[in-house]
Amino acid sequence: MTPTVELADYILSEELSKKAKENVNLSCQLTAQGLKEKELKKHCDDLKKEKEDMLQILKSNEKIIKENKEELSKVAYQERAMLSTLSNKEKAINELNEALKKHEVEKANLLEQAAAAQDLKDKSIKELNKHCDDLKKEKEDMFEKLESKEKMIKKNKEEYLSKLHEVLENHKQENTYLIEELAAKDKILKEGEEMLPKIIQGSPLQWVHDSIPKCMQTCLAPKGSITGDELGTFMGSLVTTTAYNVTYSNSDLKAFLFWNSLANLIGSMFGQICNNIVTQMSQTDMKKEGAKKIFKIIGKSVFWILLGGLIPMLAGGFIKKYWKRLVVTAATALVVKCGSATLWKLSYQIPTWQPVLIVILGIIGIGIAAGIPHLVKVASEKK
């Protein structure tokens, strides 16, 4: 064996001996601790018993203290109640004394006020007597003035009645003059109606008039038959609506023209209603006749405007392509114009040149009404 190995063995043996000694010491300490733990456990058990005994004593003491406290609190409460009642009685006595003092003061004041009121009463009685005398004098003066006013009123009444009599006579003269004037106007109207061509009984237009409900005849044909007034209104609405649908200035519109045409047609109808109202108001006395006649003629010619406008609207209003809309609308308007002119000739036996002239004038009107917007548009684009 080398010396290093021997040295290492020696060191290990020394360390092992030290650890053995330490283990012996630890075992001795553990035995001592075990004994101490037993003593501590015994001491703890003794303390627990003492604690339980003390707790029982404390509980019995607490019961005794609670009973004594309740009795003491009852006695204290009774003493407090007695003290509060005594203090309240003292306050009530003091308040009664103060109220008696105030009552005596108020009694003295009331006696003084009663004396002052008696003085005022005497003075007011004297003043009232004086005022009554003054009122009697004023009453006598008023009676005198009223008598003089009654005399003046009678005089003015007689003068006013005489003036009213004169005014009534003047009104009677004016009424007779107006009656004569109305009779003359009725004669002129009858003569004008007699000058118009009479419709043939059993003719197409007369059949159309007779087929209309009676409640609508006065509005759609006020003269008893479909005359030139209704035909002119129908043709005018047909021409304007057709021109709006076929004008080249509306060729670039991509939407249906029906709704634009409907808006224009509603505007024309509203304008005709306003025209009827203004015409009736200018021809009648609103104070005497009121608004009754206005309501009767408010819808005059409106139906014919609606009918003349709906035909071209329904024919071409839902066609988007311009050339198709132009051909369909123009052809429909031409057929309607020729048919209306033919009905007019058959119903009134008028010369042939008159319905032909009506058709030609309608075509010219459509051309002018459709061409002018296009010319204006071209001129504005050139600028």
List pLDDT tens digits, range 6-23: 666 677 777 777 777 777
Q: Residue 174: is its pLDDT beyond 60? A: yes
Band (pLDDT 50/70/90 cuts) for residue 378 is low
Q: Residue 186: is its pLDDT beyond 70? A: no
Q: Is 126 or 79 the better-scoring residue by pLDDT?
A: 126
Distances (CA, A) of 332 to 126, 249, 339, 360, 369: 107, 20, 11, 15, 17
CB 261 within 8 A of CB 269: no
Instruction: List b or e across 267-291, with b for residues whose CB sees 16 or more CB atoms inside 10 angstroms.
Output: ebbeebbeebeeebeeebeeeeeee
Q: Is 191 or 180 the better-scoring residue by pLDDT?
A: 180
Band (pLDDT 50/70/90 cuts) for residue 383 is low
Residue 247 has, within 13 A of its CA and on its CB side, a CA count of: 23
Average pLDDT over residues 310-314: 89
Q: Is 220 or 131 the better-scoring residue by pLDDT?
A: 131
Given this model, what pLDDT does residue 97 score? Answer: 82
Q: Residue 126: is its pLDDT beyond 80? A: yes
Band (pLDDT 50/70/90 cuts) for residue 234 is confident
Distances (CA, A) of 363 to 291, 306, 331, 338, 339: 40, 20, 11, 11, 14
CB 359 within 8 A of CB 338: yes
| Domain boundaries along the sequence of the chain | 204-382
Q: Which residues contact 373 (CB under 8 A, 6 or more apart)?
A: 247, 249, 250
Distances (CA, A) of 6 to 3, 10, 17: 5, 6, 17
Q: Residue 215: is its pLDDT beyond 80? A: no
Q: Of the spans 199-213, 334-348, 358-372, which averages the highest pLDDT?
A: 334-348
CB 230 within 8 A of CB 306: no
Q: Residue 267: is its pLDDT beyond 70? A: yes
Q: Which residues contact 341 (CB under 8 A, 6 or more apart)?
A: 355, 356, 358, 359
> Tell me: the pLDDT tens digits for 86-120?
788 888 888 888 888 888 888 888 888 888 888 88
Distance of CA 302 to the CA centre of its chain: 33
Given this model, what pLDDT does residue 286 score? Answer: 55
Distance between start and end Cα atoms, the chain:
131
CB 226 within 8 A of CB 205: yes
Q: Of the spans 29-43, 279-293, 318-332, which averages the highest pLDDT?
A: 318-332
Cβ atoms within 10 Å, residue 378: 11
Q: Is 236 or 298 the better-scoring residue by pLDDT?
A: 236
CB 329 within 8 A of CB 316: yes
Band (pLDDT 50/70/90 cuts) for residue 190 is low
Q: Residue 193: is its pLDDT beyond 60? A: no
> What would the two tokens of residue 302 be?
């409106």
Dist. CA 324–CA 173, nearest whole Å: 68
Q: Which of 309, 297, 229 is nearest to 268 (CA)?
A: 309
Per residue, the 3-state secondary structure of 333-372, as one string, reads HHHHHHHHHHHHHHHHCCCCHHHHHHHHHHHHHHHHHHHH
Q: Which residues contact 338 (CB under 8 A, 6 or more apart)?
A: 359
Q: Which of 307, 306, 304 is nearest to 233 (CA)?
A: 304
Q: Residue 314: is its pLDDT beyond 70? A: yes
Angle at 237 between CA 233 and CA 238, to 5 degrees: 115
> What would the two tokens of residue 271 be?
């304008």
- pTM to 2 decimal places: 0.44
Band (pLDDT 50/70/90 cuts) for residue 256 is confident
What is the average pLDDT score of the chain? 77
Dist. CA 323–CA 339, nearest whole Å: 24
CB 261 within 8 A of CB 329: no
Given this model, what pLDDT does residue 1 score? Answer: 52
Average pLDDT over residues 51-70: 78
Average pLDDT over residues 252-280: 79
Given this model, what pLDDT does residue 150 score? Answer: 82
